[in-house]
């Protein structure tokens, strides 16, 4: 039993590592045949050495902490606002007709396009970065919330009414649970968009530190091993949050409620 459980845990990790190993092999082959431009494209060994050094001297933990401080508050606020307002838009056609056009106008605009305008009012401050992150994640999340609410089976709502549920109980006990699969998808998309916008914003508002500033400054000093380290760390954090937070959330909600069968999850 224990052996089977270990295999179930190790197998997804092993399969998921295959693309990364292929990239690592091609990376080393490219470096081997182009060592004359090693200053521009460092070897995997040099990059790994820089990675360890930056961890030991405390640089990477400090950068990650600063970036998370720039990311988490506006993302949580955007998540709450998007779920609340998206639910209202999903169940109220008048509200939907009023606000859907403005959301459609904002949605295709890259979040960083707002940054110069935001800086005029907020300056080169953390609040400016927060505003960019909020816009970036809010518009991604709210579309999925609206879609999830509008596409639930109306029979569930009618059954709840017949059982004497009031409007608040219907929203909290029927509509939101049924829309939860798409809400989680929206949270994933919103987080990915927020993370990308954060790195770009930190490259422009460099005085606030973070991984974006680290990558931007490293390329100016031709420390391309550090640039690659920064990119790898960004990817690792994203994978960590996907596995630890979102998949656990899915397991404790969607799997538990029967929306997803756990054996089908990768």
pLDDT tens digits, one per residue of 15-63: 777 888 888 888 888 877 777 766 677 888 888 888 898 899 888 999 8
What is the number of other CB atoms lying within 10 angstroms of the CB of residue 252?
A: 10
Compute the chain's Rg from CA coordinates.
22
Query: Which pLDDT band holds residue 257 (cuts at 50, 70, 90)?
Result: low
> Do 161 and 170 meet the contact criterion of CB atoms below 8 Å apart?
yes
Three-class SS state of 258: coil
Direct distance between the N- and C-terminal alpha carbons of the chain, in angstroms, rounded to an integer: 21
**Looking at the predicted structure, is the pLDDT value of residue 225 above 90?**
no
Confidence (pLDDT) at 38: 63
CA 225 vs CA 45, 121, 188, 196, 215: distances in Å: 10, 36, 29, 20, 10
State how far the Cα of 180 lies from the Cα of 95, in Å rounded to an integer.
Answer: 21
Helix (H) or strand (E) run with residue 7 in it: helix 2-32
Question: The tokens of 99 are what?
Answer: 């606000």
Please tell me the distance from the alpha carbon of residue 38 to that of residue 208, in angstroms, as a whole number: 31
Return the higher-pLDDT residue of 2 and 106. Answer: 106
Task: Kindly tell me if the per-residue pLDDT of 265 is higher than 50.
Answer: no
Which tops the pLDDT comparison, 256 or 251?
A: 251
Could you give the CA distance from residue 89 to residue 145 in angstroms, rounded to a whole number?
9
Closest C-alpha to 178, from 234, 103, 254: 254
Q: Quote the pLDDT of residue 197.
A: 87
Residues of the chain with pLDDT > 70: what percent? 88
pLDDT in tens, 204-219: 876 777 888 888 888 8
Distance CA(186)–CA(141), nearest Å, equals 4
Distance separating alpha carbons of residues 4 and 149, to the nearest angstrom: 40
Confidence tier at 264 by pLDDT (50, 70, 90) = very low
**Model confidence pLDDT, tens digit, residues 142-181:** 999 999 888 888 888 888 888 878 888 888 888 888 888 8
Second-level CATH architecture of 53-264: Orthogonal Bundle (1.10)
Other Cβ atoms within 10 Å of 245 Cβ, number:
13
Q: What is the DSSP string of 196-240?
A: HHHHHHHHHSGGG-SHHHHHHHHHHTT-HHHHHHHHHHHHHHHHH
pLDDT digits (tens, 9 = 90+) for 123-142: 888 888 899 999 999 999 99
Mean pLDDT for the chain overall: 83
**Residue 259: pLDDT band with limits 50, 70, 90:** low
Mean pLDDT of 68-81: 92
φ/ψ of 125, rounded to 5, equals -120, 170
Question: In this model, does residue 260 exceed pLDDT 60?
Answer: no
Q: In the predicted model, is pLDDT for residue 266 greater than 50?
A: no
* Residue 3 pLDDT level (bands cut at 50, 70, 90): low
Angstrom distances, CA of residue 47 to CA of 23, 28, 39, 221: 14, 11, 12, 16
What pLDDT score does 83 carry?
A: 93
The domain segmentation of the chain, as residue ranges, is 53-264
């Amino acid at each position: 039993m224990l052996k089977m459980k270990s295999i179930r845990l190790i197998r997804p990790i092993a399969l998921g590592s295959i693309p990364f190993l292929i990239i690592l092999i091609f990376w080393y082959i490219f470096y081997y045949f182009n060592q004359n431009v090693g200053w521009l494209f460092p070897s995997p060994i040099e990059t790994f050495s820089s990675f360890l050094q930056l961890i030991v001297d405390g640089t990477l933990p400090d950068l990650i902490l600063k970036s998370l401080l720039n990311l988490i508050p506006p993302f949580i606020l955007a998540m709450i606002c998007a779920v609340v307002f998206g639910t209202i838009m999903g169940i109220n056609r008048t509200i939907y007709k009023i606000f859907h056009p403005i959301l459609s106008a904002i949605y295709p605009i890259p979040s960083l396009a707002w940054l110069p305008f935001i800086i005029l009012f907020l300056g080169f401050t953390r609040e400016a970065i927060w505003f960019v992150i909020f816009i970036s994640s809010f518009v991604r999340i709210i579309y999925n919330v609206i879609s999830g609410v509008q596409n639930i089976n109306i029979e569930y709502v009618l059954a709840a009414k017949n059982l004497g549920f009031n409007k608040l109980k219907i929203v909290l006990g029927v509509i939101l649970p049924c829309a939860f699969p798409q809400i989680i998808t929206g949270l994933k998309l919103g987080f990915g968009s927020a993370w990308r916008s954060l790195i770009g914003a930190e490259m422009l508002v460099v005085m606030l530190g973070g991984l974006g500033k680290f990558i931007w400054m490293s390329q100016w000093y031709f420390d391309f091993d550090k640039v690659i380290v920064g990119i790898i760390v960004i990817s690792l954090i994203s994978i960590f949050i996907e596995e630890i937070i979102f998949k656990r959330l899915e397991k404790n909600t969607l799997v538990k409620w029967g929306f997803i069968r756990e054996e089908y999850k990768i």
